[in-house]
Structure 1
């Protein structure tokens, strides 16, 4: 079955219009859905719409309400909400271009593939793709879909373009509130060198297929076991024992831990880094006293 386009229309750059189709680039993961079951009868638990002091209510008597103060609501029916929806336009205007690094990773929400709608659109599509690639820029615009307006970016991806839905500013927390109590100081040179050596030793190409959701895999095994057993008895999956010494608190010798980590995966790199560490120790500044952290 052919994939269904999320949006079809014109990608517009000034007076140039490129017919495009937009397709989801992701799909839902392998999460398992559970239902609530009444154990004595084996029947699924259903939910009733209930109003306090009234009891069960009919669905056709339910409207949406926005709470303006405690217990006070402004009531809106579906027709009123529908009337303020943004009209879906068939044009995505690229109104601004920014350096790719200017958009913080926190703003990216969901990617979509953008493809030319036909052969005639391909030439202009390729020109835009290569222009974005050469300049290192990302196109930004707003797209009206299903009554809502989305902030989006357009950037090159291999032979094509990717559109990414962006979060609006009021949807993103300011990082400073969470990081402000972290000291603005340089780490010791010897510790930093050991850490960078460890990172170098463990650097490899990213292949998403090599990673699996072990929790979902374990749930599937558990469900298969219970389905085959037909006894209804509880089955507990084996849990790996915690590493030795993990119960002694979180105070560790950072230098020793880094050296051991580099030694396990680094070989010659470990001795090289260790030699440089000794020289760095003599010139390393005194460490400031530990401070208690507060959450924002």
Structure 2
């Protein structure tokens, strides 16, 4: 089932325009969700908005937005008022400049959305814009109004369609220097760097998101199943872990052990594939035709 569009409007490249729709590329649904209960009765509880002066519950139909202009003085804003606020990015994605995707610092990347033509008539113009970006290996910068807020965004080819990624504003991103606080100035020792590089090379692989698993959620589900079955509290499932590392370590020894562990894993993998040491063949000779060593029983 195709995801429901969160925005409909037009994609514009100079004088070329086509109708498009934007839909979420990710899901926020969770497998485990909890309700709030009354501990004494076991009943589910409901949240209600209360009038701050009278303390009485307010019916949903009487709830309305309010903007505080002075202390405890509000300006009422109706839904129609919000909908009447329209700027270009409310209905048009205007590709007004272009950059290489690698030029965008990852810290500014926010959330991905799929961008697709809204109808058959728009498919040709959409394909032209997409192919132009693909040929130049570029991404377009635009702005879009989503969820009552204008957001900068990046538009780029993705598969047979395009991907729209919202970006963070510059004033909302903290500078890395604030987090580092003067740290990270140590120089890497050459021998240690060589060992670390070998560990990285040995563990090199291909990105495969299908291998990702939320182990914490699985542990919670296991706990819930056990609790339901036994009716009593049981410890949550624990993943086997190694001894917690100490802050005081010998980097050289740690890297050497990492490489050795990689060697052992490769041997174990070979054995699991049937590539391990072979048993002596019938007649007491090894596969190489040699007799078994003295003291060993013949097969």
TM-score, normalised with respect to structure 2 = 0.75
8 A Cα contact 2:67 2:77, kept in partner: no
Q: 1:150 to 1:56 in 2, by over 3 A?
A: same
Q: 1:132 to 1:157 in 2, by over 3 A?
A: same
Q: 1:168 to 1:73 in 2, by over 3 A?
A: farther
8 A Cα contact 2:110 2:168, kept in partner: yes
Matches within 5 A, 1:264-283: 264-266=261-263
1:263 aligns to 2:265 (yes or no): no
Q: Which whole-Å CA distance do the structure 2 matches of 1:175 and 1:84 have between them?
A: 40
Aligned length, in residue pairs: 261
Q: Which residue of 2 aligns with 1:38?
A: 38
Matches within 5 A, 1:97-116: 97-116=98-117
> Which runs of 4 or more aligned residues in structure 1 lie more than 6 Å from their structure 2 counterparts after TM superposition?
none
Q: 1:158 to 1:186 in 2, by over 3 A?
A: farther
1:64 aligns to 2:66 (yes or no): yes
* Secondary structure, aligned partner of 2:260: helix
Q: Which residue of 1 aligns with 2:218?
A: 217
Give, in angstroms, the shift of residue 120 of structure 1: 4.2
Q: Which whole-Å CA distance do the structure 2 matches of 1:47 and 1:5 have between them?
A: 30
8 A Cα contact 1:140 1:151, kept in partner: yes
Q: Which residue of 2 aligns with 1:12?
A: 12
* Secondary structure, aligned partner of 1:150: strand
Q: Which whole-Å CA distance do the structure 1 matches of 2:209 and 2:146 have between them?
A: 30
1:234 aligns to 2:230 (yes or no): no
Q: Which whole-Å CA distance do the structure 2 matches of 1:93 and 1:238 have between them?
A: 51
Q: 1:84 to 1:262 in 2, by over 3 A?
A: farther
8 A Cα contact 2:6 2:22, kept in partner: yes
Larger radius of gyration: 2
Q: Which whole-Å CA distance do the structure 2 matches of 1:120 and 1:49 have between them?
A: 47
Q: 1:114 to 1:3 in 2, by over 3 A?
A: same
Q: 1:189 to 1:207 in 2, by over 3 A?
A: same
1:154 aligns to 2:151 (yes or no): no
Give, in angstroms, the shift of residue 41 of structure 1: 1.3
Q: Which whole-Å CA distance do the structure 2 matches of 1:140 and 1:112 have between them?
A: 14
* Secondary structure, aligned partner of 2:178: helix
* Secondary structure, aligned partner of 2:78: helix
Q: Which whole-Å CA distance do the structure 2 matches of 1:117 and 1:52 have between them?
A: 46
Greater alpha carbon shift after TM alignment, 145-154 vs 97-106: 145-154
Q: Which whole-Å CA distance do the structure 1 matches of 2:38 and 2:115 have between them?
A: 47
Give, in angstroms, the shift of residue 252 of structure 1: 0.5
Q: Which residue of 1 aligns with 2:290?
A: none
8 A Cα contact 2:223 2:237, kept in partner: no
Q: Which residue of 2 aligns with 1:170?
A: 171
Q: 1:122 to 1:257 in 2, by over 3 A?
A: same
Pairwise CA RMSD: 3.0
Structure 1 unaligned segments of length 5 or more: list them: 268-296
8 A Cα contact 2:64 2:78, kept in partner: no
TM-score, normalised with respect to structure 1 = 0.76
Could you say which structure has the greater relative contact order, defined with CA pairs below 8 angstroms and 6 or more residues apart? Answer: 1
Give, in angstroms, the shift of residue 58 of structure 1: 3.3
Give, in angstroms, the shift of residue 257 of structure 1: 0.4
Give, in angstroms, the shift of residue 19 of structure 1: 2.5
